[in-house]
Every structure is written in structure tokens, then in C-alpha cells.
């Protein structure tokens, strides 16, 4: 059984290995990428954290952690990390992988939602928000659910966009899409809403959008998270596999169960 992976390039090798160990054949092409981004709000964000103004600092992804720490000069990085570890500031992580990234930099995450989505973060934080300063570190494609919800709950919310989402569209992506169009893939995986959008945009550019739509109605689609599932369903397609926990490992477990491999 052949599984297609559309994750960012930095996760491809590990993901291929995981699936092959389970007995799957794998084809992979990143349908989403990231690039550093300048935000005029970054320096004010650093000051609020270092000066103890920030009550909550929310990291919505591992990339958010990485790009934030890479942007800070060495002279201030230690001070920033110490401020995050101050008991007066709560560090919030979207999920376990983001938490691991924080810990690698010596930052202790204080809160992780049960559901690793913007809605899950909002549910976790809503009781603590009124009158508090909340710093949300994310990409330029983040969901409005979190920011709008925190503001509606009475928080002083600052959104810091430290990286951009980009769409890779080279031969590797074209090959994966052609393989799907030719019926040579059994399970297609999507790890975010943007991977779905990018996949279909590239398919349309190749003139294969309609064929892909038909093929996907005949094969299994596995996704991580309800936001990803909604984008798939909005395209008139059915989500066959979605783990309760929004992690790649859990999705692979569900794929294995469904495939009986």
C-alpha cells in the first residue's frame, strides 16, 4: 500500500522512515514550506517579554519557536529565555512537538491544550484572559479563531508573525500529483489546511485538478486536525482518517489500523 506525504521538507525523511517501518511504500513531496519574516512588532514583543509585561506567550508551532529564537541576538537571547521562565509569565505551547522545541532552548512550557488546534488553545486560555497581556507567536497564515477569540474574551492581544508560509511547486511536487492522478497512491495525507490548498493549487496549474478530484474520491484521505478536515470537506471530499490527537504519529497509527498493516 502506497502513502503520499505532503509535510514540510524538514519532516519528510523522518516521516518516510516511520511509514516504511510499518510496511508502507512511500512517495513524498513537501506541499508547504516556511521562510523567515520581518515583523515591525517583533522588537516591542521582545521588550514586553523581557520587561515582564507579557502574562502569556503563546507559541503555535515548532517553527514559531525556532524563528523567534533565531531572530534574537545572542546578547539578549539568554535574558529573553530567563524572562519566559519567570513564574510571572506563562508559556503556552500548541502541542508536544512545539513543547519539545521550547525545551531544547531551555524554555519550560507551562500549558498545553488537550486539543492541538487554535480552538483548543482558546478553550484552554479563555478563563485566564480578561485584562491580561497575551503574545501570540505564529506564521502569517494563522487562524483568526485564536486572535479574535482571545480579544473577545477581554485580553490585550499582540500577534507576532515571525515566519511566512510558502508554496513549493517544483518537479518533486509535480511528480507526486501526477502519481495521484495516475492512481498510483492509496492514501494521501495532509497535515494542515494549507497543505491541502497548496496541493490543489499546484494540481490546477498542471491542469489535473478535475482528475485529482475524482481520484481522491476513490482513495483514502488522512488528515491531522479539524481545520484540515474542513478544507478537505469544503472541496466535496470525504476524510477517512483523522486521529483524536492532532499529531503525525497518531495519524500513522490510525492509518496502520485502517490498512491492517
How do the domains of the chain map onto residue ranges?
A: 2-32+167-259, 35-165
Q: Taking the model in full, what pTM does it have? A: 0.80
Instruction: Answer whether residue 246 shows pLDDT above 90.
Output: no
Same topology for domains 2-32+167-259 and 35-165, yes or no? yes
Residue range 2-32+167-259, CATH number = 3.40.50.10090
Cell of 125: 486560555
Residue range 35-165, CATH number = 3.40.50.10090
Convert the pLDDT of each residue in 93-126 to its tens digit.
999 999 999 999 999 999 999 989 899 999 999 9
Q: How far is it, in rounded angstroms, from Cα 188 to Cα 218?
A: 11
Nearest one of 93, 112, 110 to 101, comparing CA atoms: 93
Give the helix/strand (H/E) hosting 164: strand 156-166
Cα dist. 159→67, 84, 123 in Å?
A: 15, 17, 18
Instruction: Answer whether residue 247 shows pLDDT above 60.
Output: yes
Grid cell 480579544 in the structure block, residue: 151
Convert the pLDDT of each residue in 159-207 to its tens digit.
999 999 999 989 999 999 999 999 999 999 999 999 999 999 999 999 9
Q: How far is it, in rounded angstroms, from Cα 48 to Cα 55?
A: 9
Cell of 180: 495521484
Grid cell 482518517 in the structure block, residue: 241
β-bridge partners, 58: 92, 136
Amino acid at each position: 500500500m502506497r502513502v503520499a506525504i505532503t509535510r514540510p521538507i524538514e519532516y519528510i525523511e523522518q516521516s518516510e522512515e516511520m511509514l516504511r517501518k510499518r510496511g508502507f511504500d512511500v512517495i513524498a513531496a513537501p506541499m508547504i514550506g516556511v521562510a523567515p519574516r520581518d515583523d515591525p512588532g517583533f522588537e516591542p514583543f521582545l521588550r514586553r517579554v523581557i520587561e515582564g509585561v507579557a502574562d502569556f506567550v503563546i507559541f503555535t508551532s515548532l517553527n514559531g519557536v525556532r524563528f523567534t529564537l533565531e531572530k534574537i541576538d545572542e546578547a539578549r537571547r539568554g535574558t529573553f529565555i530567563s524572562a519566559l521562565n519567570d513564574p510571572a509569565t506563562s508559556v503556552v505551547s500548541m502541542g508536544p512537538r512545539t513543547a519539545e522545541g521550547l525545551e531544547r532552548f531551555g524554555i519550560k512550557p507551562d500549558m498545553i491544550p488537550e486539543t492541538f488546534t487554535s480552538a483548543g488553545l482558546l478553550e484552554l486560555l479563555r478563563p485566564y484572559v480578561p485584562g491580561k497581556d497575551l503574545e501570540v507567536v505564529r506564521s502569517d497564515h494563522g487562524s483568526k479563531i485564536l486572535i479574535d477569540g482571545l480579544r473577545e474574551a477581554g485580553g490585550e492581544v499582540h500577534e507576532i508573525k515571525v515566519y511566512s508560509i510558502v508554496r513549493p511547486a517544483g518537479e518533486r511536487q509535480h511528480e507526486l500529483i501526477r502519481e495521484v492522478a495516475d492512481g498510483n497512491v492509496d492514501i494521501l495525507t495532509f497535515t494542515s489546511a494549507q497543505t491541502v490548498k497548496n496541493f490543489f493549487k499546484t494540481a490546477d496549474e498542471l491542469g489535473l485538478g478535475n482528475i485529482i478530484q475524482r481520484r481522491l474520491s476513490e482513495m483514502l484521505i488522512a488528515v491531522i486536525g479539524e481545520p484540515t478536515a474542513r478544507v478537505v470537506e469544503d472541496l466535496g471530499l470525504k476524510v477517512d482518517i483523522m486521529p483524536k490527537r492532532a499529531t503525525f504519529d497518531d495519524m500513522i497509527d490510525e492509518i496502520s489500523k485502517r490498512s491492517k498493516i
